[in-house]
Amino acid sequence: MTLRRSHRADEPAGVRVERRPSTGEGVSTVWRIRSLEAARQVLRARHATTQAGFTAEAIPQGRVKLRPILISDGPLHDEQRTKVARYFAPRVVERRYVGDMTACARRLLAATGRLDLEQVALLYTVEVTAAVVGLTESDVARMSRRLVSFFRQPPFDIARRDLGRTRRQWGAAAWRGLWPVARFHLFDVRPAVRARRRAGREDVISHLIAEGYGDADILVECVTYGTAGMVTTREFIAMASWYLLTDDDLRARYAGAPEAERHAILHEIMRVEPVVGHLYRRATAPITVTDGEDAFTIEPGDLVDVAVRPANADERAVGSDPLAVCPGRPLPSGVHASALSFGDGAHACPGRPLAIIETDVFLRELLGRSPRLVTAPSIGWDDLIAGYSLRGMVVELGS
């Protein structure tokens, strides 16, 4: 099951912790961590790091009073997570949304014949997450296209304070970023906010309004949920489908398993194939990290690159044959079944239950249609989320 592995060439096997010193002004000293033990220590150093991923350090404060939950830190971040967590709790998701998830999946998979699975998964995840967030006053297909357009950004080097971009690239980044955001605000966020100012509902936007968030703050939060939630879950659904459609034993086990075992299978696939491949933190205080018998100190200002894929495949933590999908494999105390795929510490993804439940609902409906893989997807790389993208996966459905 290693043919689809999305490891990159810059993640050498066997190198657990690597320090690359600064090469000049504006270029950070970078620690690349591929050890699960060391990675968890860094991600749990709550008051000694700040978020550096998703170009967080290049996002201006501007008119936004509150940093979005994905890139905020400290007490503000903790308060935001606590208040929003109830919308993504497993029991809440099961009670409020599973019925609508099932209906949506059945509708999107209703036609026989061939379909582009990644595109169907995109429509599905956008519709599901939009209901939780409250973006329900606009057309799902058009909103999906607007969300995807956020990712058409020039490449960047996160180790450089200026991201290594030229003036032309910064101009392209501004245009490709601001224009999609403006359209997303006009056609998706503003109608949802107006409807909820008239009558609040049980969703994230209504919560933000009640908390006193302004329109600009709500827009930024919706962009965060749209890009970090909807689009990344789409990639995982495609990857999990690929595994099940090419492994008859795993597919049969999944199809006949109870919910807990199905979820364990999905967590294990996510461990092997994490959607977000790198987690970045900026040290704000010295961090002493131990890795077995070794110890090292990360200094303030250093950039830490937690390479999720090799850390998730660290044999000392996850056992032998780490690239094999083995649901229920024994893991160290405190390590989640998906390892670091949903993060760890203060920035662990609050949407993990939603992502697993909605993936499970979709896959059950898909497998009930006697699917056959026609064309395997091509694997690409997205710099913004530091993760893979799957495109061109064609599936043929039976009756």
Which DSSP string do the residues of 205-217 spell out, in sequence order?
A: HHHHHHTT--HHH
Pairing of strands 303-307, 30-33: parallel
Query: How crowded is residue 11: how many other Cβ atoms within 10 Å of its Cβ?
Result: 17
In this structure, the number of other CB atoms found within 10 A of the CB of residue 46 comes to 13
Which amino acid type is present at position 110?
A
| Residue 212 CB partners (closer than 8 Å, separation 6+) | none
Residue 395 DSSP label: E
> 227 burial class (0-12, 13-18, 19+ CB within 10 angstroms)?
buried
Assign domain 20-385 to its CATH architecture.
Orthogonal Bundle (1.10)
Q: What is the mean pLDDT of the chain?
A: 86
pLDDT tens profile 316-371: 999 999 999 999 899 999 899 999 999 898 778 888 999 999 999 999 999 999 99
With b for 16 or more beta-carbon neighbours within 10 A and e for fewer, the 88-115 pattern comes to beeebbeeebeeebeebbeebbeeeeeb
Which tens digit of pLDDT belongs to each residue from 38-96?
999 999 998 898 887 766 666 665 555 555 555 666 666 666 667 777 788 888 899 99
Q: CA 269, CA 261: separation in Å to the nearest integer?
A: 12
Residue 304: both structure tokens together = 């830490």
Indicate the pLDDT class of residue 107, thresholds 50, 70 and 90: very high
Secondary structure letter of residue 338 according to DSSP: T
Residue 114 structure tokens: 């061939």
